[in-house]
Amino acid sequence: MQCFRMNDKVKNFLPQNSSKPSKKIFCPAAARPIVHFFQKTKLFCARRYFFQEICLNLQIFFFKIQVSMSDVTYKDLTFEPYITRQQIAERVRQLGAQLTDEYRGKAPVFVCVLNGAYIFAADLFREIALPDAEIYFVRLKSYVGTSSTGKVKEVLGLNVDIHDRHVVIVEDIVDTGQTATAILQMMKDNGAATAHMATLLYKTNDIHDKHRPKYIGFSIPPKFVVGYGLDVDEKFRNLPEIYILKEK
């Protein structure tokens, strides 16, 4: 009896009119010790199919890293890789587990700050194992290019009653603290029982207020970053990793 079945990734690499994979397949050097170990120990049935699937998945993985984790440019700005998608996913999972534990039985309201936090908020909310959790959206803006304007403009307000509710504000980055101050004040004015901030990124040396986020994904230096929802003039939001401005 097979211990597993061949998945679609392996089937897609099969020659036409063939029901078995080819015996010859490229195996990345990093995977060879693993493959040799399983070959010697014989821990799996149908080992050949298993090894080929490992090799194919590793090829896809290394190819994605090679393609996506290279410098990106916009006008005269160059950004270099800083935080990988794997690191982001793991940290989001950890934050989700923490929030789940701390807000169990409290029916929390998550408030996502558009536009930058929408990707982080979506990934984080999927990690919240609370059926009574809700999510809503507000839009504030304080950036033009790579510099903060110092003014926060509300474009889309909060259209739900949060009186006596437990609110978690979801931000992409806390930089000057202007947005954090405005959002926390908004929650207070609307009668929230508690209000805390969860931010993906926290610039440790560029905070102008006393509102340190309770939930922080990564602490970073005071440099401009893009990717995973963060932008420069609305560009690069769709990058799956985070890039930091490169020194000239």
With tokens 């440099």, the residue in question is 223
Burial 158-178 (b: 16+ CB within 10 A, else e): beeebeebbbbbbbbbbbbbb
Give catalytic residues, as residue numbers: 175
Query: How far are the Cα atoms of 64, 76, 148, 187 from residue 67, in angstroms, in the given order?
Result: 5, 22, 31, 42
Is the C-alpha dihedral spanning 221, 226, 228, 231 positive or negative?
positive
The token duo for 188 is: 């207070």
What is the C-alpha end-to-end distance of the chain, expressed in Å? 60
The token duo for 222 is: 């005071």
Query: How far are the Cα atoms of 2, 34, 78, 98, 198 from residue 113, in angstroms, in the given order?
Result: 49, 44, 26, 20, 11
The token duo for 160 is: 């739900």
